[in-house]
């Protein structure tokens, strides 16, 4: 795909500034953890898997300037860095899972000195980076089996190369299907308020010459009512052990509409997006973002001053509305509690 959403370059984390796409393609070089925290917070880097990698790189940024051999001081800095990064966004569990993976390096190597830990943490971050790419391709290949010639697919937000290191989750399914020469088209919901569908997904899909049509989120129902949507694929920010799935606001809407119209509804997400410590979606914290995302565009007011705003960034789709969850290990189908456990318990 050669999008390179996030990459470790010369002791910095280089990210594509996704707030500027599609009008400008610019890189941001995060050289300290604070810059990375803000990059995650402001959605310059976004998408659950990409946030996970960004967090791992953020840890490297936090510790790389540490001088000396005082392990206590180093560990204090390390844990402080992890805790700080964990406050950037609340919903995508990849952030916490990858920070835990980094913490695991320290915990699994109690005898390592500062230099050794630095090397091991660097190695772990690069492994997280690399695995993300492999995992995306495996998800894409499993999901592509669901796409038949002539299908009209639909997706929301951006679960593509820009949401991962490369390739993507839901969009990875389209890329794999394209490689298999399948003929299909994609409706991209624009995804208010920040228009990740219009700005990012349409940018990605048209670059890859996939037949793409942009719609407003409120048009998806009309399309389904006319029989023009054959299958839906979305990404995920956190999946509970019972299959309840938090994803971009509007995903639950699509799932209810899909149910009403008999359209298959698939989530595409890697193991790192599952939170097996929680029983259901009720335990997933939902980020609420500032009102200005809804009331303004490019600095111009689109609503009267002072109106109240409700702006949750995510919603939770109950497992019963989900046809299947495409993972790197294959497609998990109901009953989810049992099948999610069985898929991951040995891995």
Closest approach, Cβ 203 to a second copy, in A, equals: 5
Closest approach, Cβ 159 to a second copy, in A, equals: 15
* Contact present, 295 and 307 (Cβ < 8 Å): yes
Q: Is 237 a known active-site residue?
A: yes
Q: Of residues 38-77, which lie at the interface with a second copy (CB under 8 A)?
A: none
Closest approach, Cβ 256 to a second copy, in A, equals: 5
Q: In whole angstroms, what separates CA 245 from the centre of its chain?
A: 12
* CA–CA gap between residue 273 and residue 129 (Å, rounded): 15
Applying CB under 8 A, among 311, 329, 330, 334 the residue interacting with a second copy is: 311
Point out the catalytic residue in the list 237, 244, 275, 315: 237
**Cα atoms in the 13 Å half-sphere on the side-chain side of 200:** 31
Q: In whole angstroms, what separates CA 102 from the centre of its chain?
A: 19
- Report the side by side order of strands in the sheet with 314-317: 274-275, 238-240, 245-248, 314-317
250 lies in the binding site for a second copy (CB under 8 A): yes
Of the two residues 105 and 249, which places its CB atom closer to a second copy in the complex? 249
Residues 6+ apart with CB under 8 A from 49: 94, 132, 135, 136, 163, 164, 165, 169, 270, 272, 273
284 lies in the binding site for a second copy (CB under 8 A): no
Of the two residues 39 and 223, which places its CB atom closer to a second copy in the complex? 223
Closest alpha carbon to 155 in 142, 169, 165, 145: 169
Mask for 166-195, x = binds a second copy (CB under 8 A): ---------------------x-xxxxx-x
302 lies in the binding site for a second copy (CB under 8 A): yes
* CA–CA gap between residue 316 and residue 238 (Å, rounded): 9
Q: Of residues 202-241, which lie at the interface with a second copy (CB under 8 A)?
A: 202-203, 206, 211-223, 225
Residues 6+ apart with CB under 8 A from 299: none
Active site residues: 237
Q: Which residues bind a second copy (CB under 8 A)?
A: 22-23, 156, 187, 189-193, 195, 198-199, 202-203, 206, 211-223, 225, 249-250, 252-253, 256-257, 259-260, 294-295, 297-298, 300-304, 306-312, 315-316
């Amino acid at each position: 795909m050669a999008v390179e959403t996030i990459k470790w370059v010369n002791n910095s984390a280089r990210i594509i500034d996704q707030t500027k796409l599609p009008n400008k393609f610019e890189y941001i070089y995060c050289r300290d953890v604070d810059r990375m925290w803000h990059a995650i917070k402001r959605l310059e880097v976004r998408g659950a898997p990409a946030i996970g990698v960004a967090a791992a790189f953020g840890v490297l940024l936090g510790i790389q300037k540490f001088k000396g051999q005082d392990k206590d001081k180093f560990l204090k800095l390390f844990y402080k860095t992890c805790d700080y990064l964990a406050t950037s966004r609340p919903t995508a569990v990849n952030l916490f899972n990858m920070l835990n993976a980094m913490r695991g390096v320290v915990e699994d190597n109690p005898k390592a000195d500062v230099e050794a830990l630095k090397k091991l943490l660097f190695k772990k971050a690069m492994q997280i980076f690399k695995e993300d790419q492999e995992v995306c391709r495996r998800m894409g290949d499993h999901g592509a089996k669901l796409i038949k010639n002539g299908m009209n697919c639909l997706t929301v937000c951006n679960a593509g190369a820009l949401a991962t290191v490369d390739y993507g989750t839901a969009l990875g399914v389209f890329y794999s299907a394209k490689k298999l020469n399948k003929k299909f088209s994609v409706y991209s919901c624009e995804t208010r308020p920040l228009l990740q569908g219009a700005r990012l997904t349409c940018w990605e899909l048209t670059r890859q010459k996939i037949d793409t049509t942009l719609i407003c989120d409120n048009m998806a129902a009309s399309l389904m009512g006319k029989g023009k949507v054959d299958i839906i694929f979305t990404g995920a920010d956190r999946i509970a052990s019972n299959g309840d799935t938090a994803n971009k606001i509007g995903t639950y809407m699509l799932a209810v509409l899909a149910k009403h119209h008999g359209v298959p509804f698939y989530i595409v997400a890697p193991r790192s997006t599952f939170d097996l410590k929680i029983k259901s979606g009720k335990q997933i914290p939902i980020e609420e973002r500032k009102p200005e995302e809804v009331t303004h565009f490019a600095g111009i007011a689109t609503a009267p001053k002072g109106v109240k705003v409700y702006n949750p960034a995510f919603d939770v789709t109950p497992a019963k509305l989900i046809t299947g969850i495409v993972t790197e290990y294959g497609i998990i189908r109901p009953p989810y509690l049992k099948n999610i456990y069985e898929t991951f318990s040995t891995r």
